[in-house]
Every structure is written in structure tokens, then in C-alpha cells.
Amino acid sequence: MKIEIRMEDGAPILFFPDVISHEKMIVCFTRAGEHSSASRAYMRSLRKPSKREEIADCFRLLATYANNMRL
């Protein structure tokens, strides 16, 4: 499974470009622990994490996602 991580309003968001939801939108996962969908264009418009703290936030979000998928 491919995961793209981008920054949205200072917070990381996970995008799953290989998982299509509806109307050619891709699935994404936010810090609130919620799945949503977005366009590929929106994902590409967001910047990638570059600072140490942003990268640490990304790993925390990945851990949250992994814990939620253990259901």
C-alpha cells in the first residue's frame, strides 16, 4: 500500500493514492482519526513535511493509523 504524507494547515495528513473511494477520489486519514477522501490535485497542492518536528508528527500519525487498523 502506497502512502503519501503531506502537511495541511501545519498538521500531517496521510493519503492512500492506490485506494479509490468514490468519483475517483483517493482515501486520506487525518489526525482526528477519521478517514475522508480528496482529489489527487489537492494532495499534490500540499507540501511535503520537511522540518524535524513535522516528520515526528508524521510518525505519530502513522502510529495512530496503525493502531486504528488493528480492530
pTM of the shown model: 0.86
Q: Given the C-alpha cell 500500500, which residue does it identify? A: 1
Q: How confident is the model at residue 46 (pLDDT cuts 50, 70, 90)?
A: very high
Q: Given the C-alpha cell 486519514, which residue does it identify? A: 29
Q: Given the C-alpha cell 468514490, which residue does it identify? A: 22
* Enclosing domain of residue 21: 4-68
Q: Rounded to an integer, what distance in angstroms lies between the CA atom of residue 15 and that of residue 13?
A: 7
Structural domains in the chain (count) = 1
Q: Encode pLDDT of 7-42 as tens digits.
A: 999 999 999 999 888 888 999 998 776 788 999 999
Give the per-residue pLDDT at 68. Answer: 80
